[in-house]
Amino acid sequence: MLIVGIVAGIALLVVLIVVWVVKRSDGRYRFRPSFEAVCEVTVGGRTLVAYSGHRKVIRLADPVEREDTAVLTDSRTWIRALCEIHVDGRPLLASGGRDGVVRLWDLENRGELVASLTGHRGWVFALCTLRVSGCDLLASAGRDGAIRIWDPRDGRLVRTMVAGPRRPWTYALCQVRTGGRTLLASGHGNGTVNLWHAESGQPVLELVAHKRVVWTLCEVSDGDRTLLATGGWDGNVRMWDLEEPRETHAFTAGVGPVYALCQAEAGDRTLLVAGGDGPGTAVWDPFTGERAGDLGMDLAGFLSGHGWVRAACQVRQAQGPPLIITGGYDDGVRVWDVAKEIGAPPPERRAP
């Protein structure tokens, strides 16, 4: 009877906790992420973070003060991608989402909408800056499988690349600088990653990277070495040396798909943050394959939904260490000092 009573008490406690979490969240976090896009932006000389999701607004926040500074309300669509791009030295914010329109926002001028780039059919899932001939171009991709390159100075479509009919929706884009070349990496719904020459748009390489969807891509560089990190539906993170080319390391980030990757500077170390389904966000040494630690691996994060991360980025402060921003099912983004959280080990542990 005592054992039955203990089991019943534990079951009741679990039910009460679940009810409390659902009531606290109005049920919103159970079915869709609150935030699916985060990126670093510069406004008036300040380093801020932009974040957004299904609520159809873009929020700007000071990551040090932990407070919102502005809200852009004119997007009117579910946003899946954010990216800062510079036009003649002026920073703009690009956004893309459900309606297939890529929008450019002038954050220095009260968040004015300065351009709407149309052409995609369906969702825009990914955006990234692409440096070509000394100018920043904007790459976008999504449900229609086409990768479009835009000149943000006048909104002109520079070129369109299509990976082919066997490569469905494109979920991730990333610029990679390696071997004196600038490449554009694209991650697809069939598990492949394509590399494109930035200036010509010609295909360079194809990687069979994951089972099913490639959700996220990230360039990782410590100044001496540059690798491409890929993450996807199979829950694995893979590191690629594109010069050889070959896979250098593979590791499992959590208990489910990997949706977010970003480089993290922790003291003298260059690390990789990997977020997805499951409590906590993993931190890895991308050059040795060693797990360096975790962010938010606790019961509170598990219950609130924060462990289910959909977006991550690094923010470099004018003073102080770089910060990592993560967003997902929680009702807000989290700010992390990685070196402090994991107690960054000495650099001599890194592989030569």
pLDDT digit string (tens) for 250-278? 998 666 899 999 999 998 899 999 999 87
Q: Pick the closest to residue 51 from 81, 29, 96 (CA basis).
A: 81
What is the predicted pLDDT for the residue at 348?
Answer: 44
Q: Are 63 and 48 in contact (CB under 8 A)?
A: yes
- For residues 89 and 80, give the distance between their C-alpha atoms in angstroms, rounded to a whole number: 26
CA angle 89, 273, 126 (to 5 degrees): 50
So what's the pLDDT on residue 206? 94
- Measured CA to CA, the distance from residue 166 to residue 328 in angstroms comes to 30
Instruction: Write down the pLDDT at residue 126.
Output: 98
The rounded distance, in Å, linking the Cα atoms of 295 and 324 is 10
Coil, strand or helix at 107: helix
Specify the DSSP class assigned to residue 6: H
Burial 233-256 (b: 16+ CB within 10 A, else e): bbbbbbbbebeeeeebbebebbee
Residue 290 near residue 274, CB atoms below 8 Å: no
Q: In this structure, are residues 118 and 103 in contact, taking their beta carbons and an 8 Å threshold?
A: no
The phi and psi torsions of 41 (rounded to 5 degrees) equal: -140, 160
pTM for this one?
A: 0.86
Q: Beta-carbon neighbour count of residue 149 at 10 Å?
A: 20
Is there a contact between 310 and 259 (Cβ–Cβ < 8 Å)? yes
Amino acid at 231: G
Write out residues in the chain with pLDDT < 50, as ranges: 18-30, 300, 304-305, 346-352
Measured CA to CA, the distance from residue 317 to residue 322 in angstroms comes to: 6
> Quick one: the chain helix, strand, coil %, rounded to 5?
10, 50, 35
Neighbouring residues of 228: CB distance < 8 A, sequence distance ≥ 6 = 174, 176, 178, 185, 193, 217, 218, 219, 220, 239, 240, 242
